[in-house]
Structure 1
C-alpha cells in the first residue's frame, strides 16, 4: 500500500506565492475580532500549521515558482484561482498545467452568477469555489443566496468546491455545518459538490452523505497527510474510492515537500492511489 512510482497527480488546491498577504486575506480579517488573527499577516489560520511557507519578498514570477514545485513533485495539473492576475496568466500561458477555478461571493446575487458565466467564457474555468464562513456577511452552505450559484454550476456542468466543517480562521462555524449539504444535494441532485478543509468534527456524517448522494465528494485540502481523518481513509478503502480527491494547500499553509514526504504513510489500498491522486479529479474537472 504505497504511492505508485511515477503516478501523475492533480492538485485541486494550489496557489502562488503571495505578493500582498494582507490584501489576500482581507475578506477574512475584516470579520475576525481577536488581535492575533488581525496581526498575523501570513495567514488567518496560521496557529493551526507548523512551518507555514513564507510570503516575504515574493519572487518576480510566482507562477514560475509554483510550476517548478509542481515539476519537482510530479503534479501534472493544478487547480488555481483566476481572481488574480497570476492565476489568469497561469491558465492562459500553461493551459496543460493549470485549470482555472473562480471564487465567488454569494452576497453579490446575480452579479456572482454573471462572474461565473464570464470566467467560463473568458478563462475556461473548470470549477467554482465558495468559503461560506469567510463570506461577509456569512452565507451558509444551504442559504438560498447560494442557490443561483448551484444552479449555474449545474447548467455549465461545473463542480463547486465548498468549505465544510469548523473553519480554521476564528470566524463562526455555523455556515459550514456538514448537515447542510444534505439539503443542497436534495435540491440539486445533478450538482457535483466537493467539500474542502476536512468536514471536522462531522467526518462520519460526511461519509454517510457521500454514500447517499452520488454527486457529493471530499477533498483533502489543508490537511497534512498524517492527519487525514481515519473515517475518510477507511471510506476510500471500501466504498468511497471514487469520492475522495487529493488537494494540497501550497503555499497557503503547507509545503509540497511536507505533503509528499508524509503521503506514503497514508494506508490507502494500492487500487485507491490512482483514483485519489488523479482519476477522480480528472473526472470531476472534466480534464479528459
Structure 2
C-alpha cells in the first residue's frame, strides 16, 4: 500500500493540532503538576536527550502542532487524510482540583465550521458536573452536528463502570452516538487501575446498544482490550496515543486478524498526521485490513 492509496480518517486528533491554543494557554497547562510529572518521568529521557528543560517541554508538542486550521488541512491533503476528529478534551487535574485541559462546545463548533466538512466534532464529559455535561453533549450533537463523546476516566478518578458515568451512556444511546474513552494507563501520574479495559465489560451488558470505542490501546492490559472488543458486538478499539511503529505485537496481530480488522480504528492523538499514517501503512498487515482501519471502520462506527 502507498501513502495516498487511502483517504484516511483520524478518529482521535486534538483541537490543539488545529492551532487553537495560544502560547499562554500552553504554558498554563504545562504548569499543572500532572504535566510536569509526566515530562520528568514518562518523557524525561527523551527531553533530556533533546536538551530541553521540563518546564519547556510544552514547546516540543506545540512545535509539532499546526498554527491554523488551514495549515492542518494542507497537511491532510499532502498525506491523504480526509477527516480528523477533535473533541472538548476534558481532563481533570487531581492535584489542582480543576480542569487541566478543556475546550468549549463553541470552540469545537468553530473548528468544525472552519474545516468545511473535514473536521468532525466531539463533546466531552465531566462526571463532577453531570447535568451540565449532558446539556453540552446534547447541544453539541443537535446544534453543531457532533458525532461522538470522548472522556478521560483516569484523570477524574472514576472507572468506566462507575455510576457517575452511567448518565453519559444513557445520553449517548438516546442520541445514537458512540462513547469513546481512554483505556490503559496514562503518561501522567494518574491511577492506572481505573483504566483497565475490563471496566467496559459490565457497561456493555447494562447498555447492549451503546457503541463504545476504547482508546489508547489499553496497554498494559492489551489482552483485556482485545477481549472486550472480541466479546461485545458494539465495543471497538482505537490505537491513538501510540505511534504505529511502537504498537505491541499482540495489537498488530489482532489488527491483522478477522476481528480486529473490522473493529479497530486509526487515531493519532495529535502525534502527527504524516508520521502516524506513514507508520500505519508500513505495518506488516494485509492491505485490505489497513484500509478498513484507516477509513472504512470509522465510517461505519461513527455513521459518517
Count the aligned residue pairs. Answer: 272
Partner of 2:263: 243
- TM-score for both structures, normalised by structure 2: 0.81
Partner of 1:99: 120
Partner of 1:55: 62
Separation in structure 1 between the aligned mates of residue 185 and residue 276 of structure 2, nearest angstrom: 22
Q: Residues 113 and 87 of structure 1: is their aligned pair in 2 closer, same or farther, counting only changes over 3 Å?
A: closer
Matched, 1:263 2:280: yes
The 5 Å alignment of 1:131-280 reads: 131-135=152-156, 138-240=157-259, 241-250=261-270, 254-280=271-297
Separation in structure 2 between the aligned mates of residue 48 and residue 118 of structure 1, nearest angstrom: 43
Separation in structure 1 between the aligned mates of residue 115 and residue 278 of structure 2, nearest angstrom: 27
Q: Residues 278 and 47 of structure 1: is their aligned pair in 2 closer, same or farther, counting only changes over 3 Å?
A: farther
Q: For residue 94 of structure 1, report the CA deviation from its aligned partner.
A: 2.5
- Long gaps (5+) in structure 2: 51-58, 89-102
Q: Residues 11 and 47 of structure 1: is their aligned pair in 2 closer, same or farther, counting only changes over 3 Å?
A: farther
Q: Residues 25 and 121 of structure 1: is their aligned pair in 2 closer, same or farther, counting only changes over 3 Å?
A: farther
Taking only aligned residues, the RMSD between alpha carbons, in angstroms, comes to 2.7
Q: Aligned to 1:14, what secondary structure does the other structure show?
A: coil
Q: For residue 187 of structure 1, report the CA deviation from its aligned partner.
A: 0.7
Q: Residues 36 and 207 of structure 1: is their aligned pair in 2 closer, same or farther, counting only changes over 3 Å?
A: closer
Q: For residue 107 of structure 1, report the CA deviation from its aligned partner.
A: 1.6
Q: What do residues 117-138 of structure 1 show as CA deviations (whole Å, max 9, x unaligned)?
A: 1111221100001101122xx1
Partner of 2:12: 13
Q: Residues 13 and 44 of structure 1: is their aligned pair in 2 closer, same or farther, counting only changes over 3 Å?
A: farther
Q: For residue 249 of structure 1, report the CA deviation from its aligned partner.
A: 2.3
| Equivalent residues of 2:10, 2:267 under 8 A apart | yes
Q: Which range moves more in the overlay, 257-266 or 95-104?
A: 257-266
Separation in structure 1 between the aligned mates of residue 246 and residue 265 of structure 2, nearest angstrom: 15
| Equivalent residues of 1:4, 1:273 under 8 A apart | no
Separation in structure 2 between the aligned mates of residue 76 and residue 108 of structure 1, nearest angstrom: 34
- TM-score for both structures, normalised by structure 1: 0.85
Greater helix content: 2
Q: What do residues 70-100 of structure 1 show as CA deviations (whole Å, max 9, x unaligned)?
A: 1221110110125345532221233410110
Q: Which range moves more in the overlay, 210-219 or 265-274?
A: 265-274
Matched, 1:76 2:82: yes
Structure number with greater CO (CA < 8 Å, separation at least 6) is: 1
